[in-house]
């Protein structure tokens, strides 16, 4: 019983942590990475399609992403989709490849992005506390229905608290890494 509650809570916490990592990977630092364009949708014959399904996305160098559409006539649609995305990028066509240079970040923009990153981390911390609350209330229900003893409930709450502390420490590590990446010039 308690193991099931703990396992469920741990799975939810792990998913929340993974979601934070994915969200933070979308926050742009000065360096280029192909995951930056993952959510860009291209108008592929009238249907919005992820860019990685209509083109090959790779790194040309540390500050430039290369996008090579599989169909030559899709180049203008891909370029338009990148330009109109909320990323503030300015792609340029060079032959069959579209070069997407990453503009350097200003100090002000870095500080704004740091605030965004901290807010994302706080949202996940709140989610972790909500998962802990749900798990503890589930333990209380098991106690009321006399499926576990008071000692078992207390032990279960302690285990869930340790689990919560562990995942909040993981969030802090991820946050510190991303902040250091953003503030590096």
Structure confidence at residue 124 (pLDDT): 93
pTM > 0.75: no
Instruction: Give residues with Cβ within 8 angstroms of 6, minimum separation 6.
Output: 135, 156, 159, 160, 163
In angstroms, the Cα distances linking 124 to 19, 39, 57, 150 are 9, 21, 30, 30
Structure confidence at residue 28 (pLDDT): 65
The CATH code belonging to domain 34-101 is: 3.30.1360.40
Burial of 145 (0-12, 13-18, 19+ CB in 10 A): exposed
Compute mean pLDDT per 10 residues along the chain, 185 residues long, and list them: 88 91 74 77 88 88 87 88 80 88 79 85 93 93 90 92 94 91 75
Structure confidence at residue 30 (pLDDT): 64
* Per CATH, domain 2-26+106-183 is 1.10.132.20: yes
Structure confidence at residue 136 (pLDDT): 93
Residues facing 44 on adjacent strands: 47
Task: Please provide the DSSP assignment of 95-146 as one string.
Answer: TTEEEEE-PPPPHHHHHHHHHHHHHHHHHHHHHHHHHHHHHHHHHHHHHHTT
d(CA 85, CA 88): 7
């Amino acid at each position: 019983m308690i193991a099931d509650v703990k396992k469920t809570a741990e799975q939810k916490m792990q998913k929340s942590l993974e979601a934070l990592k994915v969200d933070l990977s979308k926050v742009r630092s000065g360096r280029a990475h192909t995951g930056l364009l993952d959510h860009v949708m291209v108008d592929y014959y009238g249907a919005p399609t992820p860019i990685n399904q209509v083109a090959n996305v790779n790194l040309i160098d540390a500050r430039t992403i290369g996008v090579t559409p599989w169909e030559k006539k899709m180049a203008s649609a891909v370029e338009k989709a990148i330009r109109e995305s909320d990323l503030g990028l300015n792609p340029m066509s060079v032959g069959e490849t579209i070069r997407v240079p990453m503009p350097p970040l200003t100090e002000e923009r870095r500080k704004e992005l740091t605030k965004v990153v901290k807010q994302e981390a706080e949202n996940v911390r709140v989610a972790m506390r909500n998962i802990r609350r749900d798990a503890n209330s589930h333990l209380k229900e098991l106690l009321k229905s006399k499926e576990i003893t008071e000692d078992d409930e207390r032990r279960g709450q302690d285990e869930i608290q340790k689990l919560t502390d562990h995942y909040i420490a993981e969030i802090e590590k991820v946050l510190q890494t991303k902040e250091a990446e953003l503030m590096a010039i």
